[in-house]
């Protein structure tokens, strides 16, 4: 037997042999009793930044209550692109730190309590913004450059380093959700996932991570991981205004079902899988990576002014549409300004009012048009229509 094979078998034996008490998660089916115990939601009095106008949902069996609208880590950079990658010397420019501090303050006021972070620059900026108030925000994080997205990083020591770097840059001792970034296109193997789980168990034991999540842009792969590994407590994947559940009709406030993309023959909906296994869902890319708006690429940091009413309405309606799916825990639009935070939060505030027929027609028309016009690097988003 090769050394690599022995190591693989050893890792599998380690993961399968870990007791549930070690981290609240193992790579074997959870009993109904354990599911029920782990699913108990927090009382309203303990919900971070509780605002009676905001909706809150339980993040699967973590028991965390998240605002149904969160904050995506991305915001427009000085070139008008959608995210900041890294800062020299891990120091956020003064204007950036000020902007992120104002945005986080607006989130707290609005009842938003979750921020989703994916680059080293985002860790640095939100670390500065949360200084002195770390307890006001639930953080999900991973640095894509150090993540398991690169198979060369799929070693416990390297992934532990990634977690520690996120903590250092965020100025915190722990991450609430290690949102491990797997290969975007489904190239990660079961062995890679086992390394992620082993890393989580180690980091959890050391108090550096509370819960384990995983993300990918590939539906069949993510469906397999949810079904195969009960250690996964949270999943992150794209949801747009066109995303509906496979083999079911549209939700009350979701636009009508359309033809599925390739891989539509997946046997079971991811949404059914997460319900069956009590897995929390973080819905990313609600605005098609920014491509939903005609202004994308034209506005540069710092953005001034409230923005157009037409795009504000389109953003709010999109988030309301996504939240019509109760299997989604939280949707995480990015926000460059305080105004964008307040507009995103209003999607939750107004959700119970529902979408009018005119709203649905408009949203359907614009979303279809933008999906058809997606640049090549975002064409894969079309595969997340029937999920």
Give the H/E segment covering residue 115.
strand 114-117
H-only helix segments in the chain: 3-17, 20-23, 32-38, 94-110, 120-129, 156-170, 190-205, 219-228, 270-277, 309-323, 338-349, 357-372
Two tokens, residue 237? 């994947």
- Which domains can be identified in the chain, with CATH numbers? 41-384 (3.20.20.100)
Burial class (CB in 10 A: 0-12, 13-18, 19+), 88: exposed
pTM: 0.88
pLDDT given at position 267? 60
Q: Report CA dihedral (78, 296, 139, 60) to the nearest 10 degrees.
A: -170
pLDDT one digit per residue (tens) for the chain, 387 residues: 444 444 443 444 444 433 333 444 434 444 444 444 455 666 787 899 999 999 999 999 999 999 999 999 999 999 999 899 999 999 999 999 999 999 999 999 999 999 999 999 999 999 999 999 999 999 999 999 999 999 999 999 999 999 999 999 999 999 999 999 999 999 999 999 999 999 999 999 999 999 999 999 999 999 999 999 999 999 999 999 999 888 775 556 665 433 333 244 446 799 999 999 999 999 999 999 999 998 888 889 998 878 899 999 999 999 999 999 999 999 999 999 999 999 999 999 999 888 999 999 999 999 999 999 999 999 999 999 988
pLDDT given at position 182? 96
Q: What are phi and psi of 336, to 5 degrees?
A: -90, -25
C-alpha pair distances (Å), 54 with each of 51, 137, 241? 5, 15, 20
C-alpha pair distances (Å), 84 with each of 12, 65, 142, 334? 37, 28, 14, 12
Q: What are phi and psi of 141, to 5 degrees?
A: -150, 150
* Per-residue DSSP letter, 206: T
Burial class (CB in 10 A: 0-12, 13-18, 19+), 43: exposed
Q: Which residues of 99-120 are buried (b: 16+ CB within 10 A; e: fewer)?
A: bbbebbebbbebbbbbbbbbbb
Distance CA 155, CA 192 (A): 8
pLDDT given at position 252? 62
Give bridge partners of residue 115 from the DSSP assignment.
71, 139
Distance CA 235, CA 281 (A): 5
């Amino acid at each position: 037997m090769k050394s690599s094979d022995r190591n693989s078998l050893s890792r599998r034996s380690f993961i399968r042999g870990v007791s549930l008490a070690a981290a609240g998660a193992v790579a074997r089916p959870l009993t109904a009793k354990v599911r029920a115990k782990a699913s108990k939601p927090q009382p309203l009095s303990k919900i971070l930044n509780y605002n009676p106008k905001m909706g809150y949902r339980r993040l699967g069996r973590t028991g965390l209550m998240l605002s149904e609208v969160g904050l995506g880590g991305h915001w427009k950079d000085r070139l008008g692109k959608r995210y900041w990658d890294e800062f020299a010397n891990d120091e956020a420019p003064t204007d950036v730190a000020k902007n992120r501090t104002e945005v986080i303050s607006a989130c707290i006021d609005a009842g938003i309590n979750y921020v989703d972070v994916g680059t080293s620059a985002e860790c640095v900026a939100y670390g500065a913004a949360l200084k002195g108030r770390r307890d006001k925000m639930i953080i999900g994080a991973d640095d894509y450059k150090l993540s398991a997205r690169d198979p060369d990083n799929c070693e416990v020591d390297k992934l532990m380093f990634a977690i520690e770097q996120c903590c250092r840059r965020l100025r915190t001792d722990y991450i609430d959700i290690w949102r491990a970034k797997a290969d975007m296109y489904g190239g990660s193997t079961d062995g890679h996932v086992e390394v992620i789980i082993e890393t989580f168990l180690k980091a959890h034991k050391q108090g550096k991570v509370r819960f384990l999540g995983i993300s990918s842009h590939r539906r069949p792969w993510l469906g397999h991981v949810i079904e195969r590994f009960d250690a996964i407590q949270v999943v992150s994947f794209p949801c747009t205004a066109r995303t509906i559940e496979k083999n079911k009709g549209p939700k009350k406030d979701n636009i009508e079902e359309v033809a599925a993309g390739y891989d539509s023959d997946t046997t079971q909906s991811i949404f059914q899988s997460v319900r069956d296994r009590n897995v929390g869902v973080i819905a990313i890319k609600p605005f098609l990576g920014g491509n939903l708006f005609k202004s994308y690429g034209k506005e540069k940091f710092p953005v001034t002014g409230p923005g157009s009413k037409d795009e504000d309405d389109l953003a709010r309606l999109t988030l309301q549409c996504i939240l019509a799916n109760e299997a989604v825990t939280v949707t995480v639009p990015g926000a460059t300004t305080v105004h964008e935070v307040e507009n995103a939060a209003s999607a939750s505030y107004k959700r119970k009012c529902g979408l009018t027929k005119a709203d649905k027609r408009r949203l359907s028309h614009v979303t279809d048009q933008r999906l058809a016009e997606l640049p090549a690097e975002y064409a894969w988003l079309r595969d997340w229509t029937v999920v």
